[in-house]
């Protein structure tokens, strides 16, 4: 079965392109345009990995990470943050909030794909333990 | 009256600074989208066995221009933060050698002309008290310049752990810096008189100097037009500081 990824991004153009890229690489992709939609889809589908922006309407990435950590069902799902913010204190903050990785925009797909493989590998190992 | 004017002008400056910060961040999403489209086209052409040298070269060129534009946006953001005193150093005990894998990886194949960064290390590694993120930015910028302003040989980074200081030199055999330009080299927006046709904002070395000062280091430059440039960056070990 293909690995299932939930993409949360409020910019429609980027969301569509990343969805197409991931599908081209044989991932099953769910999309949400803000953190609230993302939380709802995450609870419904329990994806293998979440890739999320930080600055989004309704529920932002910080609140999303807090909500994932507080929910026993969601807390095991790795969340990779992809954001335009590249200041060290921002990266530190989201890592403290439980993010499993951080990519700064713009990024090349090769780097995103390496992170996805690393995190999916980790979650597979974790589920076997 | 004066204090009202001063406060009004402070507010204006602060607003202008916020506009720069927000605009610079807002630039990054379209850049990310365009680059993802380039990646999507590349993946699709490869999947359909249609990729050839022509597509490869031009898609790579779009991507490298996107990252050049992104670097300019980063430089604008950084200089804006420096001018507003918003730079946090987050210093810790660190070995400059720990930055080398990241620098080596960053310049493994830059800029598609087969050259790579050569690193020499002498002496016994010792730690300094500095910000790893800012030091990475300093050396990344100097190395990027060494590649950008030279064409023939690999740039060299020499890390020399001396008795009281660690000395890092970045050497290239490029176009060099005319002597008349040297006094203004670290001023924001200054670009050398021989850099026409080479992209850049003139902010990089200004940021380098600000970060070196913030980490209590020094930087010097020796350069000869058409022969090359050597930047020397020095930091003292904390136990030797007076």
Q: DSSP for B97-138?
A: GGGHHHHHHHTTTTTSSS---EEEEES----EEE-HHHHHHH
Q: What is the pLDDT of residue B21?
A: 75
Q: How far is CA B185 from CA B29, B71, B206, B222, B235, in A?
A: 32, 19, 8, 12, 21
Q: Which domains does chain A have, with CATH numbers?
A: 4-126 (3.40.50.2300)
Q: Which residues of B touch A89 (CB under 8 A)?
A: 88, 90
| Residue B197 Cα, gap to closest chain A Cα (Å) | 25
The pLDDT, as a whole number, for residue A48 is 96
Give strand ranges (E) for chain B: 92-94, 118-122, 128-130, 156-161, 165-172, 218-224, 228-236
What ranges make up the beta strands (E) of chain A?
A: 4-8, 28-32, 49-52, 79-83, 101-104
Distance from CA of B29 to the nearest CA of A (A): 7
Q: Where exactly does CATH 3.30.565.10 map onto chain B? A: 92-240
Task: Point out the residue among A25, A86, A106 whose CB comes nearest to the CB of B31.
Answer: A106
CB B193 within 8 A of CB B175: no
Among partner residues A14, A86, A88, which is closest to B33 by beta-carbon distance? A14
The confidence score (pLDDT) of residue B1 equals 38
Residues B104-133: pLDDT tens digits?
877 765 556 778 889 999 999 999 999 988
> Which of A26, A86, A89, A106 should we substitute to test contact with B (largest number of B Cβ atoms within 10 Å)?
A106
In this structure, the dihedral spanned by the alpha carbons of residues B98, B99, B100 and B106, taken in order and rounded to 10 degrees, is 150
Rounded to whole angstroms, how far apart are CA atoms B99 and A101? 19
Collect all residues with Cβ–Cβ distance below 8 Å to B49 and sequence separation of at least 6.
Answer: none
For residue B237, what pLDDT is reported?
A: 95
| A25–B35 C-beta distance less than 8 A | no
Model pTM? 0.71
Q: Could you tell me the sign of the dihedral formed by the alpha carbons of B125, B130, B132, B136, in that order?
A: negative
A21, A105, A107 ranked by CB distance to B43: nearest:
A21
Q: Do A24 and B47 touch (CB under 8 A)?
A: yes
Across the interface, of B32, B43, B88, the residue whose CB is closest to A106 is B32
Residue of B nearest to A109 (CA): B39
CATH number of B2-83: 1.10.287
Which residue's entry shows tokens 């176009």? Answer: B175
User: Which stretches in chain B have pLDDT values below 70?
Assistant: 1-14, 108-112, 240-242
What ipTM was estimated for this complex? Answer: 0.85
What SS3 class is residue A20? Answer: helix
Residue of B nearest to A103 (CA): B32
Collect all residues of chain A within an 8 Å Cβ-Cβ radius of residue B36.
14, 17-18, 21, 106, 109
CATH class of B92-240: alpha beta
B204 close to B145: Cβ distance less than 8 angstroms:
yes
pLDDT tens by residue, B153-166? 889 999 999 999 99
Report, in angstroms and rounded to the nearest whole number, the Rg of chain B calculated over CA atoms: 20
Residue in A with minimal Cα distance to B27: A84
| Burial (Cβ within 10 Å: 0-12, 13-18, ≥19) of residue B36 | buried
CATH 1.10.287 intervals, chain B: 2-83
């Amino acid at each position: 079965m293909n690995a299932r990824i939930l993409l949360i991004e409020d910019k429609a153009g980027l969301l569509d392109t990343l969805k197409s890229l991931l599908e081209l690489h044989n991932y099953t992709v769910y999309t949400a345009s803000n953190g609230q939609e993302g939380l709802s889809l995450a609870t419904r589908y329990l994806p293998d990995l979440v890739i999320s922006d930080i600055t989004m309407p309704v529920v932002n990435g910080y609140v999303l990470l807090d909500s994932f950590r507080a929910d026993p069902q969601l807390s095991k799902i790795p969340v990779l943050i992809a954001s335009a913010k590249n200041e060290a204190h921002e990266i530190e903050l989201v890592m403290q909030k439980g993010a499993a990785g951080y990519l700064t925009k713009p990024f090349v797909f090769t780097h995103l794909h390496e992170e996805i493989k690393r995190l999916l590998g980790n979650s597979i190992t974790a589920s076997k333990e | 009256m004066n204090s009202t004017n001063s406060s009004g002008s402070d507010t204006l400056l602060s607003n202008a600074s916020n506009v720069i910060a927000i605009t610079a961040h807002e630039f990054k999403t379209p850049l990310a989208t365009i680059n993802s489209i380039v990646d999507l086209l590349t993946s699709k052409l490869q999947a359909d066995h249609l990729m050839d040298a022509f597509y490869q070269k031009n898609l790579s060129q779009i991507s490298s221009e996107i990252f050049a534009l992104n670097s300019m946006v980063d430089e604008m953001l950084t200089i804006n933060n420096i001018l507003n005193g918003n730079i946090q150093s987050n210093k810790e005990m660190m070995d400059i050698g720990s930055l080398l894998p990241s620098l080596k990886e960053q310049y493994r194949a830059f800029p598609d002309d087969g050259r790579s960064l050569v690193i020499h290390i002498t002496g016994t590694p010792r730690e300094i008290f500095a910000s790893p993120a800012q030091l990475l930015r300093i050396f990344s910028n100097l190395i990027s310049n060494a590649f950008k302003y030279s064409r023939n040989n690999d740039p060299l980074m020499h890390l020399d752990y001396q008795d009281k200081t660690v000395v890092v030199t970045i050497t290239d055999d490029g176009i060099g810096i005319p002597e008349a330009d040297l006094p203004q080299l670290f001023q924001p927006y200054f670009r050398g008189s021989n850099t026409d046709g080479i992209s850049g904002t003139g902010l990089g070395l200004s940021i380098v100097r600000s970060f070196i000062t913030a980490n209590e280091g020094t930087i010097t430059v020796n350069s000869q037009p058409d022969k090359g440039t050597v930047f020397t960056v020095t930091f003292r070990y904390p136990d030797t500081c007076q």
